Amino acid sequence: MRISKVLPFLLSLAVVLSLSLPASASGGDFSVSLAGISLRPGVTTTIHATVYVNDQPCWGGTVLAIHGFAHTGETWGPFADALFADNLTRYFTCRVVAIDLPGHGRSTLPSGVAYGDLSLDDYVTGALGSLDALRTRGIRPQSIIGHSMGGLILEMMQQRLISQGKTLRSRYGILSAVGLAPCTPAPMAWTFADSGAAVQILAPMIAIDDLRGATFAMDASTWTAIFFTNRSGQLAAGAPSAEEVDELGWYAPESLVAGLQLVGAPPMPSRGFVSAGAFAPAKHTMFTMIHLGEDAFSLESEDFEAYQHLTGDPSGALFITVDDPEAVHDMHVSNPGLLIDSIAAQLF
């Protein structure tokens, strides 16, 4: 389950993205405001999306990107730039559409409920609603990538659709899904959450304010220390400064309820649930999981078990481990070029 397993992933990704009509992207990056997204009865929000455009000739499609806990869609900017610059991936990706989950970044706080009361299930509803709203604007992603909490949301999106007799493929034409250091779903074991370590880190961050209600809040320095530190307690070389985090809008307070649900902390009964085989071949969306070797929040063995649970694949054909001292939880921000090079170079 090492980086040598990446070749099948690259080949499958190339096939998936090239299935769209040949395209030559034009114009620069732009923003889309998706108003009136319903999260639950009586609760709505406006979701902001940044569309990163590959300004070179390309023959690929569009990727929807979902950010992680206490992040914003802006954290996908370095990754999109690196995708478009790489000698291989630039041909297969024409656009990356990075959404701000409800209440994050430039998305609005919800109306009808306090932001701190939003759950992962509300985020799932918002992400699915974003796909619907993007389609009305002629933007139809063929692939989805989710980082950390966003990876779990991606998995829960598929679970929601399965419960309705649909799938990401049948409802939205999603051919490929990638979990980048995704949080582990129930019922699978996740030591970081199950041991109480997550609660110890999160508890001091609980804050209450009149605007958002109850949240997990941290300053930019703490945000950097949490997401860019390796297993030895060292900060990644490319970790951003607190000033960069603030200036670039990479941090957002997280809903208390969503955060508690993410790690299965009381009073939430369990973490987000995803059933076995949610991405089995019969569901017709290829699922790839990327484990980052220096990620302090996950064990490779647990990620592999989660991959097997989701796909039913015992071989780990699309399970990739990136082994590098810089492979921290937010490698896609701190060193996206190395992340992509570690993958793309295998094709040669």
Give residue-wise pLDDT tens across range 208-247: 999 999 999 999 999 999 999 999 999 999 999 999 999 9
Identify the pLDDT of residue 116.
98
Average pLDDT over residues 138-151: 97
User: What are 166-197's pLDDT values in tens digits?
Assistant: 999 999 999 999 999 999 999 999 999 999 99
Question: In terms of DSSP bridges, do strands 30-40 and 43-53 run parallel, antiparallel, or are they unpaired?
Answer: antiparallel
CA distance 205 to 268: 18
CA distance 12 to 43: 39
Residue that wins the pLDDT comparison between 111 and 269 = 111
**271: closest CA among 153, 164, 169, 165?**
153
**CB–CB of 34/139 below 8 Å?**
no
**CB–CB of 278/310 below 8 Å?**
yes
Q: What percent of the chain has pLDDT over 90?
A: 85
Identify the pLDDT of residue 323.
94
Domain made up of 3-347: CATH architecture:
3-Layer(aba) Sandwich (3.40)
Identify the pLDDT of residue 343.
66
Q: Is the pLDDT of residue 10 over 80?
A: no
List Cβ neighbours of 318 (8 Å cut-off, separation of 6 or more). Answer: 5, 8, 9, 12, 286, 287, 288, 289, 307, 311
Tell me the H-state helices in the chain: 6-18, 77-85, 120-136, 149-163, 168-172, 191-194, 197-202, 220-227, 242-248, 256-263, 300-311, 331-334, 336-344
Show the tokens assigned to 121: 């299930």
**CB–CB of 286/175 below 8 Å?**
yes
Mean pLDDT of the chain: 91
Identify the pLDDT of residue 344.
61
CA distance 299 to 241: 27
List Cβ neighbours of 129 (8 Å cut-off, separation of 6 or more). Answer: 34, 37, 38, 39, 47
Average pLDDT over residues 21-33: 71
Identify the pLDDT of residue 26.
53
Q: Is the pLDDT of residue 345 over 90?
A: no
User: What are 282-325's pLDDT values in tens digits?
Assistant: 999 999 999 999 999 999 999 999 999 999 999 999 999 999 99
Lowest mean pLDDT across 125-129, 211-215, 307-311, 344-348:
344-348
The structure tokens 């993205």 sit at 17
**Confidence bin at 92 (pLDDT 50/70/90):** confident
Q: Is the pLDDT of residue 61 over 70?
A: yes
Q: Can you give the residue ranges of every domain in the chain?
A: 3-347
CA distance 30 to 196: 41
**CB–CB of 256/214 below 8 Å?**
yes
| Chain centre distance of CA 246 | 20
Q: Is the pLDDT of residue 95 over 50?
A: yes
**Confidence bin at 263 (pLDDT 50/70/90):** very high
Average pLDDT over residues 88-101: 93
Tell me the H-state helices in 19-139: 77-85, 120-136
Q: Is the pLDDT of residue 60 over 70?
A: yes
User: In whole angstroms, how far apart are CA 11 and each of 16, 27, 81, 89, 131?
Assistant: 9, 28, 21, 11, 25
Sequential DSSP letters for 120-144: HHHHHHHHHHHHHHHHHTT---SEE
Q: Is the pLDDT of residue 18 over 60?
A: no
Q: Is the pLDDT of residue 200 over 50?
A: yes
**295: closest CA among 226, 238, 241?**
226
CA distance 159 to 163: 6
**CB–CB of 17/96 below 8 Å?**
no
Identify the pLDDT of residue 298.
97
Q: Is the pLDDT of residue 11 over 60?
A: no
